[in-house]
Amino acid sequence: MAERSFKAEVEHLRLGDGGTFTGEGILAITKALLENGVGYVGGYQGAPISHLMDVLADAEDLMAELGVRFEANASEAAAGAMLAASVHYPIRGAVTFKGPVGVNVASDALANLSSSGVTGGALIIVGEDYGEGSSIMQERSHAFAMKSQFWLLDPRPNLPSIVKAVGDGFELSEASNTPVMLMVRIRACHVTGQFATRDNVPPPLTVRDALANPQRNVDRIVLPPMSYAQEHDKINNRWPAAVRFIREHALNEVFGPAEAPVGIVCQGGMYNGVIRALQRLGLADLHGQTSVPIYCLNVTYPILPDEFAAFCRGKDSVLIVEEGQPEFIEQHLSTHVLRDGMAVRLHGKDIFPMAGEYTGKVMHDAIESFLRAEAPGLLPAQVLAPNEPAPEIPDLSRTVPVRPPGFCTGCPERPIFAAMKLVQQELGEHQISADIGCHLFASLPPFNIGGATMGYGLGPASNAAFDGGGKKRPISVIGDGGFWHNGLSSSFGNMMFNKSDGVAVIVDNYYSAATGGQDILSSRAQNPTKSTNNPISRALKGIGISWVRQVDRTYDVAHMRDVLREALTTEAPGPRVIVASSECMLNKQRREKPLRAKAIKEGRRVEAPRFGVDETVCTGDHACIRLSGCPSLSLKRLDDPLRDDPVASIDQSCVACGNCGEVAEAAVLCPSFYEARVVHNPSGWEARLDGWRQRIIGALSRRRMARRLSFGDPA
């Protein structure tokens, strides 16, 4: 079960003709799929489309009613491969994952799919993780469309446009026998708004029906000689068909006056940013009525040269607004300008920065300098006039600390890395590689562990050069998500086959946690539609790895340290694998908190633990924090003139995972930590016993106090 439940929102997916849907972009896409008769859906979670997978999972009942098959694919490659159903069958299918990393993983399947060509509409919904808030390398999915010749939609980022793009995408796919990628940027995935709904449409041919009547078409198999024919088919038939469809259905849009000295060509996803810049320059109103013509590319691949030429006619110059690099569209259009001998001047990356997000400021500044250079007459006087000097705002760049993501309060991964830090204090620094997932936060302070991340499931594989061993053993870390995504074969199969001398730590937190807590094969939850509870250690044994240590409570820092030390020093032949298992605290709390509150209310016995620090004992050296980084373990300035440095302090968000106490104990830090466990609704006997104890303890301590001077609580 995922971190966020969409059960309530899923009801909106049942809206029919004449209804109004209000909500997030991701949900709108889901609704659009159902309205367009999709036959099967799948994908792999990851920001920013994790919620799409969660919505689909929560909407399984509704989809079953419609005869739509939902598959939570094992990876993006598996999702891409699933679209094979649309190759031979006239069934619409859609898969989703994040771009460009998910597209990387899926590219093998997507390339084959594109060569085969499709019969039913095949839609790949990609959440492009680019710009602020992105967690991955900054690249463009655009290149994949070009190399494999599938079509790329980049609709304007509002709900009606995105919903329309889903329908357009299916039709375009079918009209041109080509898969279509629908790209939605991070913010567009989470943008809220409204659109008019239509009835959901059951697929005309369901996947179940198709199984009863198997079909095959030799021409669509990617083998010579068909593969040669397919390349020609792409260029000679599918491409022209796509161009025809895009033109006839006006998928690209033009806004603004017919006559103007300049114009702007933009990706659909950039449209709102362009309008905002024009609004601020006094050249557009709040409804988007603009005095600078805009050619908005809701289809960014393929480009339609004649549409572009028509837009340029009569204009002196045109600015291309294309985010990211390389500037594929600009290069493409430049080719046409040269080939056709057009007179228009082309601007783009000469004004815009080549790299990085087109933020509001970038957009505003670039469009302003374009207009100042090419059409100053358009700009209103107040823009042309020099700005009045703004008051000097003090520079805070040295004051405000950076706030990188880190482990949550009570995260079970923290003690693993605390233990690793302790082992390294004993045995020296090691070569450590990491994977994709929450554990990668260990590479940041305070742990500073691990120096590479090469891809999902590739953590141990990225240490392969060191598999032969040496004076010290290489260590790699991988999450359970990465393990099942690709790790079992690419990392562990690789280690085993090559007789690796290395050590791998599998962080098993019961979920694909970083992407939002989705279930995976080894999840402990019972999931009615998925197979869970398949232990990782059994999979390891299955591929022949015999040195496997299962740790069932990662919070035992001393034990965790000892197991790591053993793995790094044992004479037993490698590979050595530690499966460190404890439930993701975010998900655990979400699951247990309501149950606990209910139990207390019903009068059942409940222990509510929390940790604390004795301020008088803490000396303020913060060693505990350097081994923890827990958000609830913070600092507090004392009102004591004798003390200069703030002391450790634990706030109310503590979930009593015990890591701080365990670390203080294992690393011999200090005796400041205590755990207070409030017992709600104790039994009569327990309360009586405690009463007696407290009376004796109280008497003893009062007696001691009576014999000495005391100044009240020194804290």
Partner 1 sequence: MNLPLSQFAPDTTQDGIIKLAALAVGGQGGGVLTGWIEAVARSQGYAVQATSVAGVAQRTGATIYYIEMAPQGPVPTVFSLAPSAGDVDIMIAAEMMEAGRAILRGFVTPDRTTLIASTHRALAVSEKTVPGDGIANADEVRAAAEVAARSLILADFDQVAIRAGSVISASLFGALAGSGALPFPRAAFEDAIRAGGKGVEPSLRAFAAGFEAAQQGVQPARTADAPPMAAAAPQGPARLLTAWQALETRVTALPGPVQPMTQAGLRKVVGFQDPAYGAEYLDRLDRVLALDGPANDWALSIAGAKHIANAMAYDDIFRVADAKTRPERLARIRAEMGATGVMQLTEFTHPRGEEIVSLLPAGLGRWIQARPRLYAWIDRRVNKGRRLRTDRVLPFVQLHVLASLQGWRRRSLRHADEMVHLTAWLDAALAEAPRDYALAVEMLKVRRLIKGYSDTHARGLGKFDRVMQAARRLSGREDAADWVRRLVTSALQDEQGTALDGTLRTIDSFIDSAG
Q: Are 502 and 460 in contact (CB under 8 A)?
A: yes
> Contact between 408 and partner 1 (CB under 8 A)?
yes
Q: Report the nearest approach of partner 1 to the CB of residue 641 (Å).
A: 5
Question: 110: which residues sit within 8 A by CB, 6+ positions away?
Answer: 80, 103, 124, 144, 148, 150, 179
3-state secondary structure of 350: coil
For residues 529-588, which are near partner 1 according to CB under 8 A?
558
Q: Are 220 and 163 in contact (CB under 8 A)?
A: no
Quote the CA–CA distance of 515 and 520 in Å, as a whole number. 12
Stretch that binds partner 1, among 10-18, 274-282, 344-352, 527-535 (CB under 8 A): 274-282
Among 5, 138, 237, 279, binds partner 1 (CB under 8 A): 279
> Would you say 82 or 304 has its CB closer to partner 1?
304
For residues 665-694, which are near partner 1 according to CB under 8 A?
665-671, 673-680, 682, 686-687, 690, 693-694
Stretch that binds partner 1, among 87-95, 490-498, 522-530, 634-642 (CB under 8 A): 634-642
> Would you say 130 or 170 has its CB closer to partner 1?
130
Q: Report the nearest approach of partner 1 to the CB of residue 83 (Å).
A: 26
Q: Report the nearest approach of partner 1 to the CB of residue 709 (Å).
A: 4
Binding mask 289-328 for partner 1 (x = CB under 8 A): xxx-x-------------x--x------------------
> Would you say 61 or 640 has its CB closer to partner 1?
640
Binding mask 457-496 for partner 1 (x = CB under 8 A): ----------------------------------------
Among 71, 205, 221, 280, binds partner 1 (CB under 8 A): 280
> Would you say 137 or 250 has its CB closer to partner 1?
250
> Would you say 395 or 571 has its CB closer to partner 1?
395
> Would you say 212 or 709 has its CB closer to partner 1?
709
Q: Report the nearest approach of partner 1 to the CB of residue 497 (Å).
A: 33
- Preceding amide of 404 cis, omega within 30: no
Q: Which two tokens stand for residue 526?
A: 């019972």
> Would you say 363 or 503 has its CB closer to partner 1?
363
> Contact between 385 and partner 1 (CB under 8 A)?
no
> Would you say 334 or 653 has its CB closer to partner 1?
653
Neighbours of 353 (CB within 10 A): 13
Quote the CA–CA distance of 706 and 712 in Å, as a whole number. 12
Among 19, 67, 202, 282, binds partner 1 (CB under 8 A): 282
Binding mask 229-248 for partner 1 (x = CB under 8 A): ------------------x-
> Would you say 310 or 338 has its CB closer to partner 1?
310
Question: 186: which residues sit within 8 A by CB, 6+ positions away?
Answer: 47, 48, 127, 128, 129, 130, 131, 132, 133, 134
> Contact between 20 and partner 1 (CB under 8 A)?
no
For residues 156-185, which are near partner 1 according to CB under 8 A?
157-158, 185
Q: Which two tokens stand for residue 272?
A: 């709102």
DSSP label at residue 305: H
> Contact between 634 and partner 1 (CB under 8 A)?
yes
- The residue written with tokens 């004591």 in the block is 640
Question: 565: which residues sit within 8 A by CB, 6+ positions away?
Answer: 423, 426, 427
> Contact between 597 and partner 1 (CB under 8 A)?
no
Quote the CA–CA distance of 364 and 370 in Å, as a whole number. 10
By the 10 Å C-beta count (0-12 exposed, 13-18 middle, 19+ buried), 553 is classed as middle
> Contact between 593 and partner 1 (CB under 8 A)?
no
Binding mask 192-221 for partner 1 (x = CB under 8 A): xx----------------------------
Q: Are 462 and 454 in contact (CB under 8 A)?
A: yes
> Contact between 249 and partner 1 (CB under 8 A)?
no
> Would you say 280 or 336 has its CB closer to partner 1?
280
Q: Are 162 and 23 in contact (CB under 8 A)?
A: no
The 3 state secondary structure assigned to 491-542 is HHHHHHHCCCCCEEEEEECCCECCCCCECCCCCCCCCCCCCCCCCHHHHHHH
Quote the CA–CA distance of 650 and 153 in Å, as a whole number. 50
Stretch that binds partner 1, among 145-153, 387-395, 454-462, 488-496 (CB under 8 A): 387-395
Q: Strand 345-347 and strand 317-321: pairing?
A: parallel
Among 272, 490, 518, 523, binds partner 1 (CB under 8 A): 272
Q: Report the nearest approach of partner 1 to the CB of residue 276 (Å).
A: 4
> Would you say 85 or 477 has its CB closer to partner 1?
477
Stretch that binds partner 1, among 13-21, 229-237, 266-274, 449-457 (CB under 8 A): 266-274
Quote the CA–CA distance of 103 and 474 in Å, as a whole number. 30
Quote the CA–CA distance of 269 and 289 in Å, as a whole number. 18
Q: Report the nearest approach of partner 1 to the CB of residue 333 (Å).
A: 16
> Would you say 479 or 661 has its CB closer to partner 1?
661
> Contact between 381 and partner 1 (CB under 8 A)?
no
> Would you say 65 or 426 has its CB closer to partner 1?
426
> Contact between 591 and partner 1 (CB under 8 A)?
no
> Would you say 542 or 691 has its CB closer to partner 1?
691
Q: Report the nearest approach of partner 1 to the CB of residue 680 (Å).
A: 8
Q: Are 54 and 96 in contact (CB under 8 A)?
A: no
Q: Which two tokens stand for residue 515?
A: 């992407």
Residue (of 474, 545, 533) closest to 508 by Cα position: 533
Quote the CA–CA distance of 205 and 193 in Å, as a whole number. 32
Q: Report the nearest approach of partner 1 to the CB of residue 149 (Å).
A: 24
Among 259, 339, 381, 602, binds partner 1 (CB under 8 A): 259
* Cα 146 versus chain centre, distance: 24
* Biggest CA pair distance of the chain: 102
Q: What is the CA radius of gyration of the chain?
A: 30
Among 47, 79, 106, 506, binds partner 1 (CB under 8 A): 47
Among 216, 381, 389, 403, binds partner 1 (CB under 8 A): 403
> Contact between 594 and partner 1 (CB under 8 A)?
no
> Contact between 187 and partner 1 (CB under 8 A)?
yes
Count of residues binding partner 1 (CB under 8 A)?
A: 149
CA dihedral 90, 92, 97, 101 (to 10 degrees): 30
Residue (of 342, 268, 172, 325) closest to 333 by Cα position: 342
> Contact between 285 and partner 1 (CB under 8 A)?
yes
Residue (of 241, 124, 262, 248) closest to 176 by Cα position: 241
3-state secondary structure of 421: helix
> Would you say 247 or 549 has its CB closer to partner 1?
247
> Contact between 698 and partner 1 (CB under 8 A)?
yes
